[in-house]
Amino acid sequence: DSSEEEDYMSMTLLEPTQNTHETSLQRLSRQKREAEARSRPKSKSQLHAEQTASRESALSTSLDSTNKGFQLLSKLGYKAGSTLGKSSDARMEPIRLEMKEGRSGVGLDSQRKRKMREEFEEEGMRKKVEVGDFRERLAGQRAEKRMEGQFFGAQKIAEQFDAEGEEDGAEDGEEGGRDVTGDARVKKVARPLKNINILWRGLIRHRLEKEKEARARHDFQLTSTNAPTYEDSDDDEDDKHAIGADSKWAAVEEEVQDEDPELEEFEALPISERLDKVVNHLRQIHNYCFWCKHKYPDSTMDGCPGTTEDDHD
């Protein structure tokens, strides 16, 4: 029957079977290649790579029950997968072996690492100390500069109280009182510098030194005009006083050039100690608190919180 005939379009085409039998020629070629590979010596890098791979494979392989070492541990109570020791948080595996690659002695690498770590830590500590010292030094300089300004202000107040006391004890026109012209801003220098209180003597000496410099500049200007009697008509009384035109400063000017060991010793003290001396003088002699900026009626100084600046915070 034609329906029973197999349609050639639906026929299954079988792939030709491959002949796996090795011919003598193929065998001789293969044996030749293997002999050449065996006879070729391996390089050091290849041998090192094979040794490393073999060692890592062996170290990564756990001991099985056929190993004599494992059998000995089993007799001592060790079970596979348990920890090494009695503690539950002990090691599950032995300490891994680290092969030494270099030629340095045993422990040298660890010693070098420890030394590098110590040097790194010392460098870090040194930098921290330097930063801390710098900040501390900067803060100290700022505090000292601030106290210098406070000391200067306290000196001016002490000088003012001293001048007011002299005016109260002298009549107008007398030495140590007001100027005969009636100008309260211009006071005669009645005492030598060494007789002025050491607490504000430096303030007056510094002021006189500046006036001496101003007088020297004025004298130079007079000399440069080629007129010995030249006088600037624009100078008022304050200008003449500032440049030393008044002759009453002549005697004091000579004292500026003299040495004052007592003043040098006082100015060698720390600024904090000098400030405390002036502040205590104002409290004890004038009932004045430098921190309150107030003069109290009596020595009890009722209402003042204390003797230091911190007490007034």
Residue 182, pLDDT > 50, answer no
* 212 located within any domain: yes
* 262 located within any domain: yes
* 224 located within any domain: yes
Range(s) of the domain holding residue 241: 185-268
The torsion region of residue 136 among left (phi > 0), alpha (psi -120 to 50) and beta comes to alpha
* 161 located within any domain: no
Residue 295: pLDDT band with limits 50, 70, 90: very high
Secondary structure (3-state) at 289: strand
Total count of domains within the chain:
1
Residue 306, pLDDT > 70, answer yes
Crossing angle between the packed helical segments 198-224 and 271-286, to the nearest 10 degrees: 110
Residue 168: pLDDT band with limits 50, 70, 90: low
How much is the pLDDT for 217?
83
How much is the pLDDT for 112?
80
Which of 5-9, 135-139, 225-229 shows the highest mean pLDDT? 135-139
* 147 located within any domain: no
* 119 located within any domain: no
Residue 188, pLDDT > 50, answer no
* 109 located within any domain: no
Residue 185, pLDDT > 60, answer no
Span 280-298, average pLDDT: 93
The DSSP bridge partners found for residue 294 are 289
* 84 located within any domain: no
CA distance 44 to 30: 26
